[in-house]
Amino acid sequence: MEIVSKPKGAARVITGELDGSIDLSKSLIATDGNPVASGELDLSFNFEGEGRSPGAIMTALNGSGNFELVGAGIAGVSPPGFSIALEAANDAAGLQAAIDALLQPVSFDLGDAQGKMSIRDGVMTLDPVRTTSPHADARLAPVLELRDDGIAADIGLELLLKARPGLPAMELSYSGPPTALTRGTSMAELSSFLGYRILEKGVGELERLQAEQARLAAEEERTRKEDQAKYDAYVENRREFRALQRRIKMIEELRRQAEEKTKKDAEDAAKAEKDALLRLLNTPEEAPVPLPRTKPRQPVKPQ
């Protein structure tokens, strides 16, 4: 790693380059203490940032570079186990068993991959990693946000399962601090699809399932819109907050410059007054001009 730090007014400008490897099994940990991923992530990138504190510099970092994944895997999903369990499913219990088998705490192999990475305003984004296997096609999209109070990760895995033709995609995500990641899943559409296929011969059950599917879809759409609105508000708030921070920094800088100018003007005036007084005290008094000496007049003798 090479880092150069230079002052810029009241702030500092940081530039540098980083080449390094990360052991994913030690760097990405779930809240239960188990590794979220395996393999090695090699990074090579340059960066720059400006701020008055380390946290401010982190949130203002920008840069770009390359990454390479070697022997990567992500925990918490088992497409092969899902395929086997779904083959035996013929009712709701069998469907639940297949879902449970899908979410087993085993590692899904992503293999090797490489691509571009970028940092913009403290948010590090890696190109999506795509892989295919006999049981699923996968798309991994990792994002890291460099905050003034630490790092937040958002690792999303989209799976297109191949156990049956036409299965909708499902999503697995890990989010939060890298050493305390929380798992989330989005599979309402997949569950509804499978339930429909298994129970489609029962008309009454089919109608109930269709209503449930519509409800789940509406609920998911509502949740998506709410999440999008929250995200948009979050982005707008961060934009306004950063704009406010920039304004505060500018006002503080102008105030500092004004205070320095006032102080310097006062010091210059005091120095000028002192110099004038010293010159006055050091000027010698003028000596009195001597009068010309005259010869005394002799008295006139009488004739």
- How many structural domains does the chain have? 2
Evaluate whether residue 279 is within a structural domain.
no
| Claim to verify: residue 254 and residue 105 sit in the same structural domain | no
pLDDT in tens, 251-287: 888 888 888 888 888 888 888 888 888 888 877 665 5
| Claim to verify: residue 74 and residue 151 sit in the same structural domain | yes
Beta bridge partners of 159: 138, 170
| Claim to verify: residue 90 and residue 205 sit in the same structural domain | no
Evaluate whether residue 280 is within a structural domain.
no
| Claim to verify: residue 23 and residue 43 sit in the same structural domain | yes
Largest CA distance in the chain: 176
DSSP string, 43-54: EEEEEEEEESSH
Burial of 263 (0-12, 13-18, 19+ CB in 10 A): exposed
Burial of 202 (0-12, 13-18, 19+ CB in 10 A): exposed
| Claim to verify: residue 205 and residue 90 sit in the same structural domain | no
Q: Which of 199, 231, 255 is the last residue of a domain?
A: 199
| Claim to verify: residue 171 and residue 235 sit in the same structural domain | no
**Which is more confident, 28 or 269?**
28
For residue 64, pLDDT over 80 is answered with yes
| Claim to verify: residue 52 and residue 142 sit in the same structural domain | yes
Evaluate whether residue 299 is within a structural domain.
no
Instruction: Tell me the C-alpha distance between 87 and 135, whole Å.
Output: 13
Instruction: Tell me the C-alpha distance between 47 and 61, whole Å.
Output: 7
| Claim to verify: residue 214 and residue 100 sit in the same structural domain | no
- Determine the average pLDDT of the residues in 22-40: 94
Q: Which CA distances in Å does 121 have to 32, 147, 238?
A: 31, 10, 11
| Claim to verify: residue 52 and residue 145 sit in the same structural domain | yes
Beta bridge partners of 209: none
pLDDT in tens, 214-247: 888 888 888 888 888 888 888 888 888 888 888 8
Mean of all residue pLDDT scores within the chain: 85
The pLDDT of residue 303: 55
Domain that holds residue 158: 2-199
DSSP secondary structure letter of residue 181: B
| Claim to verify: residue 176 and residue 224 sit in the same structural domain | no
| Claim to verify: residue 118 and residue 249 sit in the same structural domain | no
Evaluate whether residue 92 is within a structural domain.
yes
Evaluate whether residue 159 is within a structural domain.
yes
Question: Band of the pLDDT at 207, cuts 50, 70, 90?
Answer: confident
Evaluate whether residue 302 is within a structural domain.
no
Evaluate whether residue 108 is within a structural domain.
yes
The pLDDT of residue 188: 86
Evaluate whether residue 43 is within a structural domain.
yes
| Claim to verify: residue 59 and residue 147 sit in the same structural domain | yes
pTM of the model: 0.60
